[in-house]
A and B are shown apart, each in its own frame.
Chain A
Amino acid sequence: MELYSGPLDTKEIFGRWLDEQAESNYGAYIPFVGTIRAEDDIEALSFDIYEPVLQKWFDEWQEKAKALGAVVKMAHAIGDVPVHTSSYVSAVFSPKRRVALELIDEFVEDFKANAPIWKYDVKHGKRIYAADRSTPMNGAGLLK
């Protein structure tokens, strides 16, 4: 898992991951890129991350992938990420395509629902929590 301040250098990351696994005999490599879209007059999105819980969440996914003979990778930005740049990339390597196609779907969806990352719109230099696009994590409401 890799965390960066500001936008991701997607080509460097994907190229490096590809090089790292060049001799691993994986038949499938499926990358996913999340790019900030220009909408609602935002200048950027901004992100807070709680790394200790994110690391545990990611470690569990690595174990799940390993049980299938696969590898999951991810990188995410912290702080402001301007429109048309990337805040999130992930990838799955697996021996055959079907496992990778299914894993990237499950992994990205669970990431959206349970990775401890908070998103803000940046408008006129102000950060506004994206409450209406955010999802309560598994177990939410325990203390209500």
Chain B
Amino acid sequence: MIKVEFLGPIGKSPIEMEAKTLADVSAKLKEDNTLTDWLDKCAVALNDTMVNDLSTVLQDGDRVSILPPVCGG
């Protein structure tokens, strides 16, 4: 199992899922209508390191963070 957490204004509780790669995570999150407006704008971190490749392989216990558009300062 891996854990997916939604940061900042997304306002959604973390979920756990079975996923071998980030592509699997993408497929599962796309089934959730509450995320439709977010996924195309959000960046992704795996265990707190930013990632850019859907084929990234996931291990049991990994934590995927979904980061919406930012505005510090």
Contacts and interface: CB of A to CB of B under 8 A. Distances in A.
A139 B51 contact: yes
Contact of B71 (A133, A141, A143): A133
B54 A130 contact: no
Contacts of B68: 118, 134
Given A137-B43, A142-B26, A114 B70 contact: yes
Classify chain B: how many residues form its interface, as a range: 20 to 34
A56 B49 contact: yes
Dominant secondary structure of chain A at its interface with chain B: mixed
Dominant secondary structure of chain B at its interface with chain A: mixed
A22 interface: no
A142 B52 CA distance: 7
B72 A112 contact: yes
Classify chain A: how many residues form its interface, as a range: 35 or more
A117 B69 CA distance: 9
Contact of A47 (B42, B44, B52, B72): B72
Interface string A88-132: 100000000000000000001001111111111000000001110
A11 interface: no
A13 B35 CA distance: 40
Interface string B15-59: 000000010011001100000000111111100111111100000
B66 A143 contact: yes
A139 B45 CA distance: 10
A142 B71 CA distance: 20
A113 B56 CA distance: 24
Contacts of B71: 112, 117-119, 130, 133-135
B9 interface: yes
Interface of A: 34, 47-48, 50, 52-53, 56, 76, 87-88, 108, 111-120, 129-131, 133-144
